[in-house]
Amino acid sequence: MAEPNIIYKVTILAMLDIAETSLKTAEITDFFTEEKLTDYWEVNPVILSLLDAGLVSAAKDGSETAYAITADGKKTYAAMSDRLSSEMEKDIRNYLKRLNIRVKAECTFYADTVPARDGGFFVRLKKSEGGIDTTDLSFPVPTKEMADLICFNWKSHSDSALSALLDSLTE
């Protein structure tokens, strides 16, 4: 099992990534207490460590502090998002909606391999946003290991892979 602070960090990054606006300290800490994950005194130092690491930024909003995810925070979240269960992500979305905070369209990823008739494997990769398929790719690869690695990396590398593909095709 992952260290609680890592899970707390990934959860906070997820909250800030999913929300279309910055979140105040209380909005972040209340999620943890409402879900009975931990208390304010455990979460607040985690928020500050994300701030110190440059993964979130802070701005004063009246007497409160509002946090937003940085570009480095988005990269870190993308690399570590597999540590967050789909149930937890759903809980975050529901919590933010209850607070009337706009959330980004939900992205779902699908990756699968099937043996090809003439040897090798076919990889199928899909990405949906808000229930609409935005990407659907199928292609052959020579080995099962390569197919499995592509499937494993699809969620965290889909944006950069698609960007490289478009760059290559539009030269």
Torsion-angle region of 62 (φ positive above 0: left; ψ -120 to 50: alpha; else: beta)? left
Give dist(CA 105, CA 137) in Å, integer.
21
Q: Tell me if 84 sits within 8 A of 16, measured CB to CB.
A: no
Give dist(CA 85, CA 97) in Å, integer.
19
- Which domains are assigned to the chain? 4-98 (1.10.10.10), 107-169 (no CATH)
pLDDT at residue 105 in the model = 59
Global pTM reads 0.62
- Which residue in the block uniquely carries the two structure tokens 């592509």? 150
Nearest to 17 by CA among 87, 98, 86, 93: 93
pLDDT at residue 86 in the model = 79
pLDDT at residue 55 in the model = 92
Give dist(CA 134, CA 8) in Å, integer.
30
Give dist(CA 13, CA 47) in Å, integer.
9
pLDDT in tens, the chain (171 residues): 346 688 889 889 988 888 878 888 888 888 888 888 778 788 888 999 999 999 999 998 788 888 899 989 888 888 888 787 878 888 888 888 887 776 665 677 788 899 988 889 999 988 877 667 788 899 999 999 999 899 888 877 888 888 888 888 888
Which stretches of the chain are assigned E, i.e. beta strand? 23-24, 56-61, 64-69, 107-115, 121-129, 132-141
pLDDT at residue 56 in the model = 92
DSSP reduced 3-state for 37: coil
DSSP reduced 3-state for 106: coil
